[in-house]
Structure 1
Amino acid sequence: MKRMIVTGSAGLIGSEAARHYDELGWRVVGVDNNMRRSFFGSDGDTTWQRERLVNDCRSYQHAAIDIRDRDAVFELVREVRPEAIVHCAAQPSHDLAAQIPFEDFSVNALGTLNLLEATRRFAAEAPFIFTSTNKVYGDGPNLVSLAEYETRYDFDDPAYVEGIPETFSIDQTKHSLFGASKVAADVMVQEFGRYFGMNTVCFRGGCLTGAGHSGAQLHGYLSYLFKAAAEGRSYTIFGYKGKQVRDQIHSRDVIGAFDAYLAEPRPGAVYNLGGGKANSVSIIESIDRINQLTGRELSWELSETNRIGDHIVYYTDLSRFRKDYPGWRITMSIDDIFEEFARISLAARSAA
């Protein structure tokens, strides 16, 4: 039986990965100590997801260790000797990072280094998949010429008609402390691939989404929007008239990218990963779709203050990944994503 370690296994992508590879017959060891609850309160609590994994999976084993604990990480990797590592654990909020800079950096950067070095020592042949972020580009995308439309902003430069590519600079921009800690981790993952010849990959994600998300006000906006609509909460839009644009990629399509990489790994690889232009949507467009799908008017207000380092427009140029892995494709359209959330939201409301 193949062995895999998945960190952040009770989060959105980690749980999707754990469930998927368990179904494929891997022995999956999931690492998650539910720090998301301490970051975001009850909205971020992932206990429900961990319990589902333990109860539903055939060979899933849970390890509630902290990736900042080097000795515990080394011991786990030495014991499991994984044939693949999927590293999803993170402090994921660029807003929260400014309040907890040491926790943010130690989780995102130091925790990643602990895992990389443990892999190099005890499982050097194992592909190492890292869920990085588009925040490594800082607010650089805001310097691209933009056009304003009735419900959204969009790029107004032919060079970015397909979105932001991997060649976009990560230097001399405002990242937020979260973005900076993820840059440190991203570059370190690359370096272990390039310097030591390990099969490492950074997937710089846009908005990764799906029904398994424990969405909170400060992270996972689409999941949180549906939660707010279902529970009658008010939502605050931070700046840009609500016309800021993100591309949405479903967690299952993220796992499809992981599958492609595991089948043909490359050392030190870097790929932007998101829904692309076709799956892009603004916040006010999102709210309008939610109102239509749920039959409820989401209460919201607009703050004139935007989040520091936030993107006005970001969607992903998928050209590089599609060239290297032509068998991979987006299977969940933006409509599919919204409809899935609506079904689950309405079902939960009926059960309440």
Structure 2
Amino acid sequence: MAANRIDPAFWAGRRVFLTGHTGFKGSWLGIWLDMLGAQTTGYALPPERAEDMFAHLQLERALAGSLDHRIGDIGDFETLQEALRAARPEIVIHMAAQPLVRRSYREPLATFATNVMGTAHLLEAARHVPGIQAILLVTTDKCYENLEHELPYKEGDHLGGHDPYSASKAGSEIVGAAYRRSFLAEQGVMVATARAGNVIGGGDWSEDRLIPDAVRAWRDSETLVIRSPSATRPWQHVIEPLRGYLMLAEALCGAGGAAAAEAWNFGPQLDAVQPVRHVIEKMANRWGPMAAEMRGQGGEARWRAENELP
């Protein structure tokens, strides 16, 4: 990935199979692939909410010229395999996941089924589909064993996870490495994993995320309760990791693709690592104009730490 840019000529007419295309990052990536001229087959569950980006922007219709929109569960191996065979992709980008930490505590078995076995289903189906050049598995920076230190984790650090979500993503990484070494490398299919986290941007209405939670609370004239305002996070706008994913996919298909077939971290510069308080205060300062744009909806931008009295 020597050239720090995306090559539109590479993507023009390229057949891409994108799982999770109805999700937050998947919706953004579907739009970007359309702009690059790729022919994309999307495979995902329906959007959870009417305000989710894919539904709100009516992307099934807006991207109809470049996106074959397929509803399917990553846990349904036969349907997934049929969709892959029909798509005949050159590149597979796997973004379908159960991405929420707190939900993973409520639904641990479903989280492991989607994130670990879903990855295994995809790779098992893909190894029987000819013509695939590269597979990019999108995981998370939460896949590392949490040592509670401030230093950024490196790709060679130990995998782990105290919660079901993090552990399931570490499991997804292990599954990806096993399929790469056992089957796909010898078939000439390059497999890499992409690890990013704390991604923010328009169209994200997921539960238990800082900015969507703030908008919902202030829109409904409620006080936002924040668990750990002093905790620092490597915040990055959704466009940044997606740009990295596209560059990595290009590298996997290039002459030196084998060198890129490994795990990659995607994160911001160290000066973008800021506490939660920093982000929410910036948001609160801008809430007035935002509320005005929503035609008078919403009250004052109030928030407090979870351990503070109301």
TM-score by length of 1: 0.72
Are residues 1:8 and 2:20 paired? yes
Equivalent residue runs for 1:147-296 within 5 Å: 155=150, 160=151, 163-171=152-160, 174-196=161-183, 197=185, 198-216=189-207, 218=208, 220-239=209-228, 242-265=229-252, 266-267=257-258, 268-295=261-288
Correspondence for 2:3: none
Report deviation, 1:124.
Answer: 5.9
Report deviation, 1:50.
Answer: 6.9
Report deviation, 1:272.
Answer: 1.2
In 1, are the aligned partners of 2:24 and 2:53 still within 8 Å (CA)? no
Q: 1:70 to 1:204 in 2, by over 3 A?
A: same
How many equivalent pairs are there?
A: 276
Q: 1:55 to 1:200 in 2, by over 3 A?
A: same
Report deviation, 1:4.
Answer: 0.9
Correspondence for 2:111: 104
Aligned partners of 2:19, 2:275: CA distance in 1, in Å?
30
Query: Quick one: which of 79, 92, 113 aligns to 1:72?
Result: 79
Aligned partners of 1:106, 1:50: CA distance in 2, in Å?
30
1:5 partner SS: strand
Report deviation, 1:52.
Answer: 2.4
Task: State which drifts further: 290-299 or 82-91.
Answer: 290-299
In 2, are the aligned partners of 1:54 and 1:60 still within 8 Å (CA)? no
Aligned partners of 1:49, 1:273: CA distance in 2, in Å?
28
2:103 partner SS: helix
1:98 partner SS: helix
In 1, are the aligned partners of 2:231 and 2:276 still within 8 Å (CA)? yes
Correspondence for 2:125: 118
Aligned partners of 1:131, 1:47: CA distance in 2, in Å?
19
Give 2:195's aligned amino acid: R
Report deviation, 1:190.
Answer: 2.0
1:18 partner SS: helix
Aligned partners of 2:25, 2:54: CA distance in 1, in Å?
15
Aligned partners of 1:279, 1:237: CA distance in 2, in Å?
20
Give 2:157's aligned amino acid: F
In 2, are the aligned partners of 1:12 and 1:209 still within 8 Å (CA)? no
Deviations 1:48-83 (A, max 9, x none): 257224324522121110010000011111111111
Q: RMSD over aligned Cα, in angstroms?
A: 2.3
Correspondence for 1:51: 58
Correspondence for 1:322: none
Query: Quick one: which of 8, 18, 22 aligns to 2:34?
Result: 22
Q: 1:53 to 1:279 in 2, by over 3 A?
A: farther
Aligned partners of 1:43, 1:280: CA distance in 2, in Å?
32
Aligned partners of 2:54, 2:63: CA distance in 1, in Å?
14
TM-score by length of 2: 0.81
In 2, are the aligned partners of 1:126 and 1:199 still within 8 Å (CA)? yes
Unaligned runs of 5+ in 1: 145-154, 306-352
Correspondence for 1:338: none
Report deviation, 1:232.
Answer: 2.9
1:82 partner SS: coil
In 2, are the aligned partners of 1:11 and 1:214 still within 8 Å (CA)? no
Percent of aligned positions that are identical: 22
Correspondence for 1:316: none
In 1, are the aligned partners of 2:192 and 2:263 still within 8 Å (CA)? yes
Query: Quick one: which of 136, 143, 158 aligns to 1:129?
Result: 136
Aligned partners of 2:175, 2:30: CA distance in 1, in Å?
24
Correspondence for 1:87: 94
In 1, are the aligned partners of 2:19 and 2:93 still within 8 Å (CA)? yes
Query: Quick one: which of 289, 305, 309 aligns to 1:302?
Result: 305
In 2, are the aligned partners of 1:4 and 1:83 still within 8 Å (CA)? yes
2:159 partner SS: coil
Unaligned runs of 5+ in 2: 1-12, 289-298
